[in-house]
Structure 1
């Protein structure tokens, strides 16, 4: 009986200590919902954006000012037990590095970065654990994303998109589009007749919508339905290649 009483006392003491620790959680918190901006000098032709644990928005700079990349960030978070949450940003060798650190017991953080791209600059994105959005770009865009959705709009440059654990949607006028996706749907709405579309997915539906034209279509679907209704000709200069595993394929003319 004495042993049981001691055990209960130890459990009670541990519970009181945990409540006391959690009660001081506000000491390791940040409420920085107001945006913060910073400019980075840039003279290259291709900007690489390397981001982790943050949502990313990429837009064309409105003033088209060369030689400078503008970044705006938003952050809100708290950690009950652990280090203070923190955001870092830096530029080195044409590589913009964006990081959010939020680890510990009962960690709850969110962040977003908006990057303004000067005219004439191509963009490469390496993103882990965060969504990627891009709009208004006219040069090549290359996205490698893990654990986050990708959404591209109002873009005319060549697209190369590679995602894992996230859906892809592109509403663009790009004439060359390459997409690789694992565990996520793909939807391409093309407003200009493309020269080449190449899509490969594993575990996700694919929908490709293109302007009225004749296309050379090559498709392979494993464990899914296929619906291809665009006009077809093997000698067409406009090619669509789609390889889909564990998902349905739809290729159709825009309504």
Structure 2
């Protein structure tokens, strides 16, 4: 059947209205789900998994999920995750995999979703050296005391307490760094493009180097260029505060 111009235009307008209406219905349904305090209960229950571990070092890779790293009296790598949010047309995907000393954690929020989020809590054996590579996420570390602790990411805050690692390094693009060390380190190195840096160190003499393009610098520890305990902190935009904030 051949449609004239007017009939074809009317049909196209009808299709457009249908698409807009369906989109609006989907959006309203998603918005209603986001406002319902009980809507995410089905996918917020924690899941746990253990990975057999041997060795003295671990690398953790996390794309965009928040990450807690905790040293504990465990033999294996113990992981708990919480996934929350709502996604139209499917479930939010999260994954965990351990192979050859690398623990990979992920969450997939692609598509239309509301409050899509995941948080992983990772317990590691004490005295294990930990490297964490992360994307856009918050990172919390507690009581890590291996030979080295290295954190490297793009955007997100880094907080740490009870750290006894001999060597501590943080490389961050955007986000504040706040670390509290409870034993005198051999070396601390923090590099941030945009973010405040706060270090709490046990009482000792340190060879301190700082650089802040835009921001205030406060050093409230004994500064001795000949000390074997070296502290290097650099940030482009942000304040630097190095003080006695912990005791050995």
TM-score (norm 1): 0.73
Cα distance between partner residues in 2 of 1:23 and 1:180:
41
- The 5-angstrom pairing of residues 91-240 of structure 1 reads 91-106=98-113, 108-117=115-124, 119=125, 137-157=126-146, 158-171=148-161, 172-240=163-231
**Which residue does the alignment assign to 1:14?**
19
Instruction: Provide Cα deviations, 1:43-85, integer angstroms capped at 9, x if missing partner.
Output: 45444333334333333454x34xx44433333443224x443
Cα distance between partner residues in 2 of 1:24 and 1:220:
50
From 13, 21, 35, the equivalent of 2:46 is 35
Cα distance between partner residues in 1 of 2:77 and 2:128:
15
Cα distance between partner residues in 1 of 2:79 and 2:173:
30
SS in 2 for 1:34: coil
From 55, 61, 80, the equivalent of 1:72 is 80
**1:98–1:150 distance in 2 versus 1, CA, 3 Å:** closer
TM-score (norm 2): 0.75
SS in 1 for 2:22: helix
Cα distance between partner residues in 1 of 2:118 and 2:222:
45
Contact 2:144 2:165 in 1 (8 A): yes
Contact 2:58 2:131 in 1 (8 A): no
Aligned residues: 229
Contact 1:224 1:247 in 2 (8 A): yes
**1:8–1:201 distance in 2 versus 1, CA, 3 Å:** same
Cα distance between partner residues in 1 of 2:25 and 2:116:
22
Cα distance, 1:111 vs structure 2: 2.8
**1:31–1:144 distance in 2 versus 1, CA, 3 Å:** same
Cα distance, 1:19 vs structure 2: 5.0
Matched, 1:50 2:69: no
Cα distance, 1:252 vs structure 2: 1.9
Q: Specify every segment of 5 or more residues in structure 1 that has no aligned partner in the other structure, as ranges.
A: 120-136
Cα distance, 1:147 vs structure 2: 0.9
Cα distance between partner residues in 1 of 2:216 and 2:28:
55
SS in 2 for 1:215: strand
Q: Specify every segment of 5 or more residues in structure 2 that has no aligned partner in the other structure, as ranges.
A: 1-5, 34-39
Cα distance between partner residues in 1 of 2:45 and 2:109:
18
**1:19–1:116 distance in 2 versus 1, CA, 3 Å:** same
Instruction: Provide Cα deviations, 1:157-213, integer angstroms capped at 9, x if missing partner.
Output: 221122211122222223321122211122222222222112222111222221222
Contact 1:58 1:116 in 2 (8 A): yes
